[in-house]
Amino acid sequence: MLLIACPWCGPRDEAEFHYGGQAHVAHPDDPAALSDEEWARYLFFRDNPKGLFAERWSHAAGCRRWFNAVRDTATNEIHAVYRVGEPRPVNS
């Protein structure tokens, strides 16, 4: 079980968190302006890297805040956590 450092609460057991998939996939500002393919990319396409991956987590059984984490999918090591709206840290 991972030990995840919530940016608001500090390190907590993974069981307190809810996984939210890839981070930085914003809902398009004007979906109507998108082609079917562009909309389908937003809906259905996600990265699946072996290595560093920016992903969303929610501290569901704690402060209930969403935040982002950069995790190495091969080792499960979390390299950075940062709050919603903050940019992905460089080098992570």
Residues 51-70 that bind other proteins (CB under 8 A): 56, 58, 60, 64-66
Closest contact distance (angstroms) between CB of 14 and other proteins is 8
Query: Which DSSP category does 61 fall into?
Result: T
Footprint of Zn ion on residues 30-89 (CB under 5 A)?
59, 62-63
Count, residues in the chain: 92
Is residue 87 involved in binding other proteins (CB under 8 A)? no
> Which of other proteins, Zn ion, none does residue 40 bind (CB under 5 to 8 Å by kind)?
other proteins
Question: Is residue 90 part of the contact set for other proteins (CB under 8 A)?
Answer: no
Residue 21 token pair: 């998939």
Q: What is the largest CA-CA distance in the chain?
A: 43
* Phi, psi torsion values for 26, nearest 5 degrees: -75, 145
Distance CA 55, CA 23 (A): 4
Identified binder of other proteins from the candidate list 75, 87, 90, 91, rule CB under 8 A? 75
